[in-house]
Structure 1
Amino acid sequence: MALITNIDPQQDLIESTEGIYLVDAGAGTGKTYSIVNRYKNIIDKNVDPENILLVTFTVNAANQMKQRIIKILSEKIDVFKLLEAPVMTFHSFCSLIVKKYGVSSPSYLGLKNYLPANFDIIENSEFESEMFRKFYMSFTDRHRNIYENIFYILQKESDNILKIIKKLCSLGIYPEDRKWSKDAHDLLKGDYEAYSALFDDLNKPEASMKGGEKFNKLKNRFTSALRDKLYPDLDEEKIFDEKRVNSDIKDEIFFDDLQEEYISFLKDIYIEYLEFLLDRNQINFEFMVMFAYLTLLKNEKVREKLQFDYVMIDEFQDTDEIQFKLIMLLCRNLNNKINLCVVGDWKQGIYGFRNTKIENITQFGNSLSLYKDELNQDETRIKYDVTDFKKITFENNYRSSYKILEFSRETLFVKGSAQEEVDSEIIEINFKEPLKEKFNFDEFAEIEFYQAVDKSDEYQLVLKKISELLNEKEKYKIRVYNKATFEIIEERPVKYSDICVLSRNKKFCLELQREAIKAGIPANYGGGLEIFSSEQGIIVLAWLRLLSDERDIQGWIPVLEMDGYTYPEIKGLFEKISENGIRLIPDIPESAAKFLKHLKSIRNNLLGIVEEILGKYNFNDAIGNKIISIINSWNKNDLISLNELIRIIDRSKNSEHKIGTGENTDAVLMQTIHASKGMEYPVVILSNVNNHNFPVFRQDSGSIYFHEISGVRSKKFFAHKNEYYFMFDNWKSDLIRSICKKNNYDEDRRLLYVAATRAMQYLFFTAYSPSSFMTSLSERTGKEIIGNFDYEIISNKPIPDKTVTKIKLPGKIAKSKKFLSPHSLMELAPDVEPEYGLPEPEDVEQPFQFNKSRFEFGKIVHEAANKIANGLEINSDIEEINRIKKFIGYLNANELKPEIDFLYPEGDKVIRGTIDLLAFYDDRIEIIDYKTDRSRKYEDKYRIQLGIYKKVIEKIYKGKKVICRIYYVRLDETVELS
């Protein structure tokens, strides 16, 4: 049971080091300070840092924690020891588990694949979507006869299927021995008891305003769910009574024979997708956590070795079910007790789309007991007591004014729609009173609502408000406190950098930023750049389109614009082509035709093509280099085709990527609410609080869905009707879905709370079509929405000196170091083979008859060599692979490190590359490079490549002798390069 403490909560946590603690740390309550000082307190008890695990969920938070720990402990503990202490992100820790102990973890699922330590994590969602689409096409071909109807129903739904697989993974639902366990199968069927309780509760009679009975909640939901659908077998008279739903229909709705086929389908696609990724030495974040969990669950020795005396988890509201269980497995049993501290704020649980569960906090005690039972189902893994824990609630806020603290609690009660019923009970139980202010801002605190005429006017409204904040220096002041002494340091006017404009979506932020800059107001966007929507990204995609189809108008327009053609000229050219049906090439500039011909000559080297395109336009800048880096990572473990690359780039136009470009230091920040989590600003303007924008009504898209109560369901099925075979809606799925749906706006309310609690002194709302969130807040707080606000937008642009000649600068980002590969420095002749060679057709022997390209054969050989060097058993009919196996066996090195990536700065260039193998001996290091050439005639060129490798290794391992060797796998010859 949970004990509630009444002493100073922060000090209570810092001093309480033994036992289980749930800390409810609201926004701005000094969570990081408390965690770091608790860590110090544990160290003061002579606990070694390696026995304390501290994890959080963002790199920035982990780095901040580690820096603060080093700052307060560096005089007592060696800095290098603190640097190596396990203070990191949750995913980084899981990566360490899998890399060190998880090589055979796929075997726990009945898979024959291994997971080498140098696996790659798929970080880009668009890239994974394209890879899954590619996999799904091949899966469809293999299973056409088994799941023909399902494939028809799920056409173009690969993204939805991937989403379901990831959700199952986050819940700890995975196949074992290539089949579902009974428990997993039961979860996929659904929870009948929970469904039955919901059905009965929603089907209670309801009294009307005039007396008598009205349609109850369940009948209203069912009536809405059945509207505008096509059913072959629906009998509404059997379902509905006059005012309620016929309770006799309850079981018929839940038990659906169609489920079994989909459960089998998900098992097969789950397993085969895992195999698809493992074959490419890739996993996504969800699978990485799953393999870390399986390693701890199934291997007692590893589990005991990795357990910690003290475990602290930050941002606990961002955990999912499998992560909570993994955390429990990491706690060392100390006389039937553990030292576990979880810190979080359920009100800031805004990552439901990543399958996180705020119930891990709101139902912490129940979850501990439930997960202990589940973890101990087949053997006793959790031996410690989980029933005794203490809850500590942080009450003091070190950020915001009392006005904002009182107001922010109201955000959790607002309705997302007129019909919605907010579950206020959970709020009243877990958040009884607003947080208490520690800093008094007096009259320098304000909350207001503003309404614009339309979208364009809202941009202007925000800019007008910014100008007022900057120029009404007596009305708006920033009060700065010393957070240690609580004394006022200064009161000063508002600066641009004090202001943050938040929005539910980034599109509004980017558009507002453009308007601000146009009006002379300095503005930065607080996120990554959409590099594939940049000038560099657009021109790369354009040339790739032309390489695929030289008549692609979408490709020619950016190319011709870059060549100086005007829009009327481009339009006239295409009208001429359309009318005459002539080939395009003769009608475009000779230089463009020549460059396209050049690109076609190297079309097997996609990365080289991208480098050539960027080089043509002198885009040797941060964005150009980032594009090369991203495409290189996509292509690293899976040779993507030209058309696949075009699709991935096209889908990635809105993806953000962090790069080092300069920003104004005194500028308004435009940021999404999600990106602002953990931040604080003196002034917050929450914009775009418009209908359909905030809140956003979300429904499960796609024809298949999974819910923990309903299980796996399909919204469609095939059936006969009047001798015809049609695809119909599934009324059972529609009805059970209407029963299980929760308030769709709960997470948006929490997002609203996060936005409000970023503000320290001033909080303003803007909209042109105010949503229910804004109107409800206005009503609850008694503040009217101001509809006629006006103020002059005052530009911050310096007035140019008219005597100075204006020089137009090129619209390019300043050059940075250019990225090159060692191969580009080899200046290969046109007939030189790429690194991944393949015998010509006349030389092909039986083992090579798999109809693959030269590159793909080289890829196969290198991947096999990588696995062999990692100690994995590889059985192959390919002679070259068996030669490599024998070659590596003869090396007899102390240690082998395969596929070492590096960046090597040299002058104005950065050389990037991958060393095939490093072999470490007592007296030397050997660099091994595999070549699949048919002869040694290009050896002099390879000396340049390996010379660069040698420079890199000599820089890292100073004083160590370095030797370079080439192993020609086709020739079975080893050559040492002097």
Structure 2
Amino acid sequence: MADGLNPPQREAVNTLSGPMLVLAGAGTGKTRVVTYRIANLIRNRIKPERILAVTFTRKAAGEMQERAASLLPKSRRKADSPQPEISTFHALCVKILRRHAPQLGYPELFSICDRGEQESVARSALREIRAPADSLKPSDLLGYIGRWKMGSISPRQAMGLGETDREHLAAAAYRRYQKTLKDRGVMDFDDLLLLTEELFTKFPEVRHQEANRFDHVLIDEYQDTNHSQYEIVRGLASGHRNLCVVGDDDQSIYGWRGAEVSHILRFAKDWPEAKVVRLEDNYRSSGSIIDLANTLIAFNSERHDKVLRAARHEGPKPRILQFKDEQEEALQVVQDIRRLMGMGRGAKDFAILFRTNEQPRAFETELRAAKLPYVLIGGMSFFDRREVRDILAFLKLVADPTDDPAVLRVLNTPPRGLGDAARKSLVSEAAARGLPIWGMIENPTGVTGLSKAALEGVLKLRGMVESWHEMAERMSVADLLTRIVDDTNYQAEIARLYEDPNDRDSRWAVVEEITNAAANYDTKKKSRKKDTRKRILTFLDDLLVGNQDESRDKEKQLSQNAIALMTLHSAKGLEFPFVYLVGMEEGILPHKRSLEGGETQIAEERRLAYVGVTRAQDELTMTMALTRRKWGKPRETIPSRFLFEMTGQAENFVKRKQAAESPKGPTKRSGRGARARRG
């Protein structure tokens, strides 16, 4: 077990009891330590099924499972052998809630809503409280609700926290939104964490029951935990206290979505007997890049004391390039990449990292002009695509015909004579009778306002769903999905909507991908459960919860031989031989919002810059524009304070900033050439 491990890694792997914090700096072999430790626990006669390992993405969980299994003897790798439970936080919480949801007033077979359903419920909630049309959009309301839920704030608490009219309006709508979800037996993704925390708080016997399933708990990326995840971990590990958390406070960059860096900073206070192991040998980046990263992050005062050491050669010094404007910045970066590709480097060796979603436009323009292949990471999620939402709505309808959002989504998809008038008639009649919309489809004869064509459409939909429900008792999920696609003639619907053959093919491939996912599920589960609803809902859990982090889409995009364009947040966990960290200016990095939030937010922006720097393996180039257009007019910029910090000129930043903000106006700087300064 010690092969290939350095002394601190070996210490972390061989410490098998009690609480332990493994501070794993960038590129220090964190995944190796976690997987070796799981394998070592099993080798030391800890029953695999008594080990729980939790991470944040399905991809990371899958890799962890495979690597740990490869370290065990062949006898332990058999498919029917007990395995450690390795999953994401959301997947773990789904399993817990499936066992105990009725105690919170939810059905055991609750469903999980996607973004489209969330927006539908949010829209209804805003209508119910009669919010003015221009006051709050459904997407804005969901932003408020998401932030409250990530902070473990209930609708009642949100009402007391509101300071502005907009916040009070959002809090009132939050209460309606949550009531609607509960009445329908539905949870959103944030509920999976929030309700598990509530379950553990209100029902100690449930917390003990779930904690007693495991003797060892490992948590990856601990610096990214929010309040609910923190409380769930404490609940699961406080009895046996065999808790190992792995993470790096210097890479805590998700404060905007509820992550609290304080969790990893105060671990030794929460668990006084904890051992702390520091992994400081970086195997990713050259020495000159690591020196720069260490210099930068040392400006954060609230952090664990650690310094990365490069295990590689010194390498070229990182460059700092200044350009006349953002167009020149993009042009010169692309020309530099083209030069290196001409020397034999592949397109996938390069990454252009930026802070804001507006920055890549100029780079895309220049990459297209240069005819260089590129991919913009983080586009539309697989699960936001129309085809996916349609097909999954049909499947939800088989599992639960009372799912109103699913009914409304497929009511006239593909068209069957059920337009807006028919939809309004069905919804109004259902509301008047206090029934789900499906109740009107089961017995449409009493619904007023339905034309003959609409009635035929209702009967056709009812007949199909009833036949699918019957088939589901004897079919695999993949076969059922194929039948749904055939019966609805969905391929013809794609042909009707999209004229371009390439567009049709790509959208049809999406439908095929859903069926492939169902086939993989059927193979993994092997046996067919008799409970149709439970089987389909389990598949939907596997599909929706397992992929809500969008890691699969990112992995597929990165597999292409193309230059990667992505935000710094998306780049975490990745590495590239050549990295261009662009837009290093005040107001971009650090972002303008953080400038108003005090040192805590500046510290997170500094960690974000640190993440960007440590993505580079061989060469790092940081760029800035001397002017950048705002509303069509060029405005002079201030270089990012992080550039001054990295170059040992931090005191000069204050002078430069004071001069730029003086009543006389910004200082003049030379912008004649593409490269005004090289550092």
TM superposition score normalised by structure 2: 0.66
Cα separation, partners in 2 of 1:612 and 1:464, compared to 1, 3 Å: closer
1:660-809 residue pairs with structure 2 within 5 A?
665-698=560-593, 743-769=600-626, 772=638, 774=640, 776-778=642-644, 780-781=646-647, 788-789=673-674
Structure-2 residue corresponding to 1:388: 273
Cα separation, partners in 2 of 1:457 and 1:82, compared to 1, 3 Å: farther
Residue 152 of structure 1: CA displacement? Answer: 6.8
Mapped partners of 2:345, 2:219: distance in 1: 37
Mapped partners of 1:67, 1:656: distance in 2: 17
Mapped partners of 2:80, 2:612: distance in 1: 38
Q: 2:234 aligns with which of 328, 331, 336?
A: 328
Q: 1:436 aligns with which of 292, 309, 312?
A: 309
CA contact (8 A) 1:53 1:312 kept: yes
1:393-408 residue pairs with structure 2 within 5 A?
393-408=278-293
Mapped partners of 1:49, 1:494: distance in 2: 44
Structure-2 residue corresponding to 1:299: 203
Cα separation, partners in 2 of 1:759 and 1:662, compared to 1, 3 Å: closer
Cα separation, partners in 2 of 1:787 and 1:470, compared to 1, 3 Å: farther
AA aligned to 2:143 is K
Mapped partners of 2:164, 2:325: distance in 1: 51
- Residue 21 of structure 2 corresponds to residue 115 of structure 1: no
CA contact (8 A) 1:697 1:745 kept: no
Structure-1 residue corresponding to 2:301: 425
- What percent of counterpart residues are identical? 25
Give the secondary-structure state (helix, strand or coil) at the position aligned to 1:767. Answer: strand
Structure-1 residue corresponding to 2:504: 620
Mapped partners of 1:607, 1:47: distance in 2: 53
Deviations, residues 939-958 of structure 1 (Å, cap 9, x unaligned): xxxxxxxxxxxxxxxxxxxx
Q: 1:131 aligns with which of 103, 121, 141?
A: 121
Give the secondary-structure state (helix, strand or coil) at the position aligned to 2:504. Answer: coil
Give the alignment's Cα RMSD to 1 decimal.
Answer: 4.4
Mapped partners of 1:672, 1:268: distance in 2: 34
Deviations, residues 353-379 of structure 1 (Å, cap 9, x unaligned): 21110011112244x3xxxxxxxxxxx
- Residue 441 of structure 2 corresponds to residue 461 of structure 1: no
CA contact (8 A) 1:25 1:344 kept: yes
CA contact (8 A) 2:584 2:643 kept: no
Residue 25 of structure 1: CA displacement? Answer: 1.0
AA aligned to 2:292 is F
Deviations, residues 658-705 of structure 1 (Å, cap 9, x unaligned): 3998888543222221121111111111123345333222279xxxxx
Structure-1 residue corresponding to 2:148: 168
Deviations, residues 301-322 of structure 1 (Å, cap 9, x unaligned): 4323322210000001110112
Structure-2 residue corresponding to 1:359: 262
Cα separation, partners in 2 of 1:169 and 1:396, compared to 1, 3 Å: same
Mapped partners of 1:279, 1:534: distance in 2: 27
Give the secondary-structure state (helix, strand or coil) at the position aligned to 1:47. Answer: coil
Give the secondary-structure state (helix, strand or coil) at the position aligned to 2:577. Answer: strand
Give the secondary-structure state (helix, strand or coil) at the position aligned to 2:297. Answer: coil
Residue 327 of structure 1: CA displacement? Answer: 0.7
Residue 127 of structure 1: CA displacement? Answer: 5.7
Mapped partners of 1:533, 1:171: distance in 2: 25
Residue 280 of structure 1: CA displacement? Answer: 3.6
Larger radius of gyration: 1
Structure-2 residue corresponding to 1:521: 372
Mapped partners of 1:765, 1:131: distance in 2: 44
Deviations, residues 821-853 of structure 1 (Å, cap 9, x unaligned): xxxxxxxxxxxxxxxxxxxxxxxxxxxxxxxxx
Cα separation, partners in 2 of 1:742 and 1:662, compared to 1, 3 Å: closer
Mapped partners of 2:245, 2:674: distance in 1: 46
Mapped partners of 2:386, 2:154: distance in 1: 43
Q: Which runs of 5+ in 2 are unaligned?
A: 1-5, 389-412, 421-452, 462-487, 515-532, 534-549, 628-636, 653-669
Name the one with the larger strand percent: 1
Give the secondary-structure state (helix, strand or coil) at the position aligned to 2:59. Answer: helix
Mapped partners of 2:644, 2:16: distance in 1: 44
AA aligned to 1:746 is A
Cα separation, partners in 2 of 1:768 and 1:531, compared to 1, 3 Å: farther
Structure-1 residue corresponding to 2:56: 57
Cα separation, partners in 2 of 1:133 and 1:357, compared to 1, 3 Å: same
1:193-232 residue pairs with structure 2 within 5 A?
none
Residue 392 of structure 1: CA displacement? Answer: 1.5
Cα separation, partners in 2 of 1:531 and 1:117, compared to 1, 3 Å: closer
Give the secondary-structure state (helix, strand or coil) at the position aligned to 2:200. Answer: helix
- Residue 359 of structure 2 corresponds to residue 502 of structure 1: no
Cα separation, partners in 2 of 1:333 and 1:697, compared to 1, 3 Å: same
Give the secondary-structure state (helix, strand or coil) at the position aligned to 1:682. Answer: strand
CA contact (8 A) 2:121 2:177 kept: no
CA contact (8 A) 1:411 1:753 kept: yes
* Structure with greater contact order relative to length (CA < 8 Å, sep ≥ 6): 2
Structure-2 residue corresponding to 1:452: 323
- Residue 233 of structure 2 corresponds to residue 346 of structure 1: no
CA contact (8 A) 1:14 1:37 kept: yes
CA contact (8 A) 1:311 1:339 kept: yes
Cα separation, partners in 2 of 1:60 and 1:769, compared to 1, 3 Å: farther
CA contact (8 A) 1:694 1:773 kept: no
Mapped partners of 1:171, 1:661: distance in 2: 32
1:9-158 residue pairs with structure 2 within 5 A?
9-73=8-72, 75-80=74-79, 84-105=83-104, 107=105, 114-122=106-114, 124=115, 128-138=118-128, 140-141=129-130, 155-156=135-136
CA contact (8 A) 1:529 1:659 kept: no
AA aligned to 1:449 is I
Mapped partners of 1:169, 1:342: distance in 2: 24
Structure-2 residue corresponding to 1:287: 191
Cα separation, partners in 2 of 1:85 and 1:664, compared to 1, 3 Å: closer
AA aligned to 1:136 is L
Cα separation, partners in 2 of 1:513 and 1:455, compared to 1, 3 Å: same
1:825-904 residue pairs with structure 2 within 5 A?
none
Name the one with the larger helix percent: 2
TM superposition score normalised by structure 1: 0.47
Cα separation, partners in 2 of 1:534 and 1:163, compared to 1, 3 Å: closer
Mapped partners of 2:639, 2:305: distance in 1: 20
Give the secondary-structure state (helix, strand or coil) at the position aligned to 2:612. Answer: helix
Residue 528 of structure 1: CA displacement? Answer: 4.0
Deviations, residues 698-756 of structure 1 (Å, cap 9, x unaligned): 279xxxxxxxxxxxxxxxxxxxxxxxxxxxxxxxxxxxxx9x86544232211111000
Residue 531 of structure 1: CA displacement? Answer: 8.5
Cα separation, partners in 2 of 1:681 and 1:51, compared to 1, 3 Å: same
Cα separation, partners in 2 of 1:24 and 1:121, compared to 1, 3 Å: farther
CA contact (8 A) 1:513 1:524 kept: no
Deviations, residues 196-242 of structure 1 (Å, cap 9, x unaligned): xxxxxxxxxxxxxxxxxxxxxxxxxxxxxxxxxxxxxxxxxxxxxxx
CA contact (8 A) 1:522 1:664 kept: no
AA aligned to 1:29 is T
Mapped partners of 1:36, 1:530: distance in 2: 29
AA aligned to 2:360 is C
Mapped partners of 2:44, 2:55: distance in 1: 23
Residue 343 of structure 1: CA displacement? Answer: 0.8
CA contact (8 A) 2:226 2:259 kept: yes
Residue 39 of structure 1: CA displacement? Answer: 0.9
Mapped partners of 1:391, 1:673: distance in 2: 29
Structure-1 residue corresponding to 2:630: none
Mapped partners of 2:207, 2:384: distance in 1: 46
Cα separation, partners in 2 of 1:464 and 1:602, compared to 1, 3 Å: farther
AA aligned to 2:275 is K
